[in-house]
A = this chain, B = another copy of it.
């Protein structure tokens, strides 16, 4: 977040011009749409055209394409984190957790950039991008903890495992985007695995270990 409203942080503070602020927002919005539609390989010029601006303007606000991508990712992830925070007060912790998980995967099926953003956030490519997605991790961890306390999610999985599953499910959803039925059934398998009792109870015959 941290939208520099005026006087960007130093002495001799000068207000930021209104057109600059407006155009920055337009670039971000256009970039989000273009990357979602054509993938992260879309050219910067496409973004500029969609925003109705010149490429020079895009590069002034985001000095490199990587910076632009990161800004888009951060915006997306922050929005997801906010959504997750809103679910913390839900009545059913299990439904809140699984619902959020499914919602993220559903979005990934149509928005290319999201799965890339999640992958970036889940793996922390660099030290500098470690901040990226931190809010989402915190919010998701809180949802997970509540669901585990309520017995809706097995207690032997941690946030790293959940993130890995979320990244995998999102990327898989992106590649089978068309068939929502298959996607839903595959996701149901993962959810059943998350509800299952910790390993150790052999599911040889009879009722597989459910709760204990």
Contacts and interface: CB of A to CB of B under 8 A. Distances in A.
A184 to B, nearest CB: 5
A210 interface: yes
Given A161-B182, A196-B192, A119 B175 contact: yes
A167 to B, nearest CB: 5
Interface stretch (A22-30, A52-60, A198-206): A198-206
Contact of A191 (B99, B172, B179, B209): B209
A190 interface: yes
Size category of the A interface is 35 or more
A140 interface: no
Interface of A: 92, 94-95, 98-99, 102, 106, 119, 122-123, 150-152, 154, 156-158, 160-161, 164-165, 167-169, 171-173, 175-176, 179-180, 182-197, 199, 201-205, 207-212
